[in-house]
């Protein structure tokens, strides 16, 4: 079962994002923790995907998170400089915050399918592979 770790310091924002992810990906386990608990939670939970604000995502990449973990940055600034800096550090994808359910589905679906060992084609809202 793929594991999504949400790193967010604002409890209402963290809870809302976690709930959206649970609705979108019912066959994934979603763990939501404050940013400073991130590295330990990622290792302990066996994270497949991590969603975090851009500064936290960059810190994780600098620390050397496992290549098997896809780090996705949430940012309000989507300019070329921001995106190039994030990519250079190893951030797998960036989404404009707050991310819509549709964008989360589009970006995270293939990552979760890969993490679950599903065949190519993505991860639908029921968590099953599409053919």
Q: Could you read off the pLDDT tens digit of each residue along the chain, which spans 131 residues?
A: 999 999 999 999 999 999 999 999 999 999 999 999 988 899 999 999 999 999 999 999 999 889 889 999 999 988 999 889 889 989 999 999 999 999 999 999 999 999 888 434 444 444 433 33
Torsion of CA 56, 57, 63, 69, to 10 degrees: 140
- Report the CATH number that the domain containing residue 99 is assigned in CATH: 3.40.50.2300
Helix (H) or strand (E) run with residue 122 in it? none
Please report whether residue 31 resides in a domain: yes
Domain of residue 12, residue span: 3-116
CA distances, 77 to each of 55, 95, 96 (Å): 12, 9, 7
Specify if 129 maps to a domain: no
Q: Is 128 inside any structural domain? A: no
């Amino acid at each position: 079962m793929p594991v999504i770790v949400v790193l967010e310091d604002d409890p209402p924002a963290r809870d809302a994002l976690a709930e959206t992810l649970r609705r979108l990906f019912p066959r994934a386990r979603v763990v939501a923790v404050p940013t400073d608990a991130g590295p330990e939670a990622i290792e302990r939970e066996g994270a497949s995907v991590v969603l975090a604000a851009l500064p936290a995502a960059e810190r994780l990449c600098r620390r050397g998170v496992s290549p098997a973990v896809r780090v996705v940055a949430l940012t309000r600034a989507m300019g070329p400089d921001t995106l190039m800096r994030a990519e250079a550090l190893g951030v797998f994808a960036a989404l404009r915050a707050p991310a819509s359910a549709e964008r989360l589905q589009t970006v995270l679906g293939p990552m979760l399918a890969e993490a679950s060992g599903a065949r190519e084609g993505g991860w639908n809202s029921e968590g099953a592979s599409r053919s």
